[in-house]
């Protein structure tokens, strides 16, 4: 890995003017570590940080971030940068770390694609990835691809947030997929905690890596349950996972997701929310690192007033102010939401409501999803993603109007900056 990173770093730096190279060390990333101050995430200088970003999946069967057969890592990051967004939510699977630690296999690209897609299609996609990403070879490992993305994000001024999406690599999320809850078929809490610590430690060298999510969309399990699905079980496991991250990398912000596909956070901040446990962050070693995350895919709710009321009750009340019932104030990020990328959808009630509500609340957000297709999803190779910001060719915006009239103004309104001109 060391030699690969030297080659990659040399390639990147040689392409930069000396002023830009010098500037790399002076970006806002140099003001790490980040912490929390009431409802805000702040850098070491006390400046508030608000995410406006996009999900970049890397948890599928290949365990390689999607879309690299169409664009290089640098081109993908530039597409994100051109919208004004400042962050990616880069997803990963525990299985990738199990392979490294248990099988002593770091999953080289030459075998990762063939294992997931078969000899013919796997070789075809591999060759396309290598053609677009000249620093990669078939011996490049999956984790080195993550390294390359993190380095490029730092070069272009994009924050990296790591999200543990699943244990067994594959599409998420169903109640019967074995990844739903602590102790589920593939969800070993021991391996999960180990993987969190591994990735937190591994990312120490990533300049723009400032936060990490514990687990995506916890949910009930279909059929017999190995562990009770309740908030007390949530508390014990999530605090253990947070401790694993904090021990490995005490600089990181730690994102806590809630229950029911991460739509319910109320017991975390609401007085009396836990039956037998007092979730008091002041007693935790990472007390100034806790951020809450919430998801919203309730496209059926067309009344924006109702949506605002529900979101406030179940999650956004965590922003404060303190009251007799709101015991602790936390920063909050909507780490998943999205809509089918078509001109009639960005102005539809769901997207229009969140497009106003999130900036008004000065809440960070990450839209689902960057890429317009998947190497493989639910057994279908090259499956199209209608919600992808990029189209099925992986090179152009699926709905340019959605970007220029929906996403970019939302970025501007969230951050209070001038809207840039997006790349085509």
Bond prior to 153 in cis (omega within 30° of 0)? no
What pLDDT, on the 0 to 100 scale, is given for residue 22?
33
Structural tokens at position 174: 């169903």
Instruction: For 326-336, write each residue's pLDDT tens digit.
Output: 989 999 999 99
Report, in this order, helix, strand and coil percent for the chain, each rounded to 5: 40, 15, 45
Report in angstroms the alpha-carbon separations of 389 from 40, 84, 162, 185, 333: 28, 14, 20, 33, 20
Q: pTM above 0.85?
A: yes
Strands 87-93, 159-166: parallel, antiparallel or unpaired by DSSP? parallel
Q: How many CA atoms lie within 13 A of 112 on its CB side?
A: 34
Task: Name residues of the chain where pLDDT drops below 70.
Answer: 1-30, 225-226, 273, 275-276, 418-424
Cα 137–Cα 1–Cα 3 angle in degrees, nearest 5: 80
DSSP 141: B
Give me the pLDDT at residue 20, please.
37
How many Å separate Cα 204 from the centre of its chain? Answer: 17
Q: CA of 21: how far to CAs of 85, 147, 255, in Å?
A: 22, 18, 31
Three-class SS state of 83: coil
Average pLDDT over all residues of the chain: 91
Q: Is 144 exposed, middle or buried (0-12, 13-18, 19+ CB in 10 A)?
A: buried
pLDDT of res. 224:
72
Task: Name the phi and psi angles at 142, rounded to 5.
Answer: -60, -45
């Amino acid at each position: 890995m060391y030699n690969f990173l030297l080659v990659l770093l040399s390639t990147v730096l040689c392409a930069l003017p000396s002023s830009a190279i010098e500037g790399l060390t002076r970006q806002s990333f140099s003001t790490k570590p980040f912490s929390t101050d009431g409802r805000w995430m702040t850098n070491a200088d006390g400046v508030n940080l608000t995410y406006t970003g996009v999900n970049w999946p890397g948890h599928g069967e290949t365990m390689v971030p999607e879309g690299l057969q169409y664009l290089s890592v640098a081109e993908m990051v530039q597409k994100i940068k051109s919208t004004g967004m400042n962050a990616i939510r880069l997803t990963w699977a525990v299985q990738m770390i199990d392979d490294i630690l248990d099988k002593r296999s770091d999953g080289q690209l030459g075998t990762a694609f063939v294992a997931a897609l078969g000899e013919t299609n796997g070789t075809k996609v591999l060759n396309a990835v290598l053609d677009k990403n000249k620093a990669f070879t078939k011996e490049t490992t999956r984790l080195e691809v993550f390294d390359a993305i993190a380095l490029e994000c730092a070069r272009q001024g994009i924050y990296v947030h790591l999200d543990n999406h699943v244990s067994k690599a594959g599409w998420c999320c169903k109640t019967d997929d074995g990844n739903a809850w602590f102790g589920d078929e593939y969800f070993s809490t021991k391996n999960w905690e180990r993987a969190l610590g591994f990735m937190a430690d591994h990312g120490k060298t990533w300049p723009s890596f400032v936060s990490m999510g514990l687990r995506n969309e916890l949910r009930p399990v279909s059929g017999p349950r190995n562990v009770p699905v309740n908030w007390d079980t949530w508390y014990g496991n999530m605090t253990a996972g947070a401790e694993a991250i904090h021990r490995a990398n005490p600089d990181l912000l730690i994102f806590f997701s809630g229950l029911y596909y991460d739509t319910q956070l109320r017991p975390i901040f609401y007085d009396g929310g836990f039956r037998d446990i007092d979730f008091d962050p002041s007693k935790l070693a990472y007390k100034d690192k806790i951020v809450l995350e919430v998801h919203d895919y309730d496209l059926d709710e067309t009344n924006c007033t109702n949506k605002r009321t529900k979101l406030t009750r179940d999650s956004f009340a965590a922003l404060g102010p303190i009251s007799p019932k709101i015991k602790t104030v936390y920063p909050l990020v909507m780490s998943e939401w999205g809509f089918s990328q078509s001109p009639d959808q960005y102005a539809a009630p769901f997207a229009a409501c969140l497009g106003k509500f999130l900036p008004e609340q000065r809440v960070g957000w990450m839209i689902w999803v960057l890429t317009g297709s998947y190497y493989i999803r639910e057994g279908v190779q090259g499956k199209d993603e209608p919600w992808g910001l990029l189209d099925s060719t992986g090179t152009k915006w699926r709905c340019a109007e959605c970007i220029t009239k929906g996403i970019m103004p939302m970025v501007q309104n969230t951050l209070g900056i001038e809207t840039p001109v997006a790349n085509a």
